[in-house]
A and B are shown apart, each in its own frame.
Chain A
Amino acid sequence: GDSVTQMEGPVTLSEEAFLTINCTYTATGYPSLFWYVQYPGEGLQLLLKATKADDKGSNKGFEATYRKETTSFHLEKGSVQVSDSAVYFCALLGSGGSNYKLTFGKGTLLTVNP
């Protein structure tokens, strides 16, 4: 079945540092890929998405590119802020049939210190 492997962390950075959280996937067909963010005690918020190969999702300074050749969707941000501290989940939405469901990575806790 589909699977997502994500750098588990935790990751601790200083403000304005560069962030990379690695995510690779295994899937059949043509999945859509997502990054979700979860703040303490809250539900999931969609951060960005890409629905086909070579698409780049971006939002709030975060970016990720759907790389089919390396089956990757790494999350990057050039300069993190304290307010970016949260848990980040990489996820895959299967392309249909019995694969139509969201499969999540294990999450990466990011802490940004001032």
Chain B
Amino acid sequence: GAVVSQHPSRVICKSGTSVKIECRSLDFQATTMFWYRQFPKKSLMLMATSNEGSKATYEQGVEKDKFLINHASLTLSTLTVTSAHPEDSSFYICSASPYWGATEAFFGQGTRLTVV
């Protein structure tokens, strides 16, 4: 199957700093990428959907100025958590689809963010 690589797998940052998470599709071009957040023992919450070259579409309640998403190429999307706070600590997962409407999305390994 298609491979999506997410980096870093774990990151610890100080409160008030920003951290960038990368999501790469290694063997296919990902027109559409999704970013999810998973709280402990909870399901995945969709944060935003991005199409290459367009602005991301954020789900209701997700602060777009805090969670900056860039999808500048067909193989790379980034999520930047700005001015991170301890409540932003979570497991962030990306997924990628080869085109809008594809019947499958491929997941990265996830990033464990801890803000201290």
Contacts and interface: CB of A to CB of B under 8 A. Distances in A.
B107 A96 contact: no
B95 interface: yes
Interface bin, chain A: 20 to 34
Interface stretch (B12-20, B76-84, B96-104): B96-104
Interface in B34-91: 34, 36, 42-44, 46, 49
A42 B109 contact: yes
Contacts of A100: 32, 49, 100-101
Interface bin, chain B: 20 to 34
Interface stretch (A20-28, A44-52, A72-80): A44-52
Interface of A: 32, 34, 36, 41-46, 49, 51, 89, 93, 95-96, 100-107
Contacts of A96: 100-101
17 contacts: A42-B109, A43-B93, A45-B107, A46-B104, A49-B103, A51-B103, A93-B104, A93-B105, A95-B101, A96-B101, A100-B32, A100-B100, A101-B34, A101-B46, A102-B36, A102-B44, A102-B95
